[in-house]
Amino acid sequence: PRHIHVVVVIASTEGLAFARQHMPHDTTFWVGAVDDELTPRKYIVPGLGDAGDLAYGAKDESFDPRVENG
């Protein structure tokens, strides 16, 4: 392709920096929102929640992605 466009709804600052480092320098990134915080498990906080939960129903209610051992 002559030009690459990457479109994401939400990204972390760290993830966006990683993608920019590993994509061609002229790649265009279209990002809806950038959240600064990642948990130790690499969940974006506050993020959008768990897409699996949205598609298949909630997991264990006691699980908190902000806590390393959940």
Question: What is the pLDDT, as a whole number, of residue 69?
Answer: 60
Q: How far apart are the first and last CA of the chain?
A: 42
Instruction: List helix spans (H) across the chain.
Output: 13-22, 51-56
The answer to whether position 47 is within a domain reads: yes
> Nearest to residue 10, comparing CAs of 53, 54, 48, 66?
48
pLDDT band per the 50, 70, 90 thresholds, residue 19: very high
The total number of structural domains that make up the chain: 1
Q: Report which residue type is found at 11.
A: A
Task: Please give the average per-residue pLDDT across 57-70, as a whole number.
Answer: 64
Is 67 inside any structural domain? no
* Domain assignment of residue 49, yes or no: yes
70, part of any domain = no
Q: Which domain holds residue 12?
A: 5-56
Which residue has better confidence, 52 or 43?
43
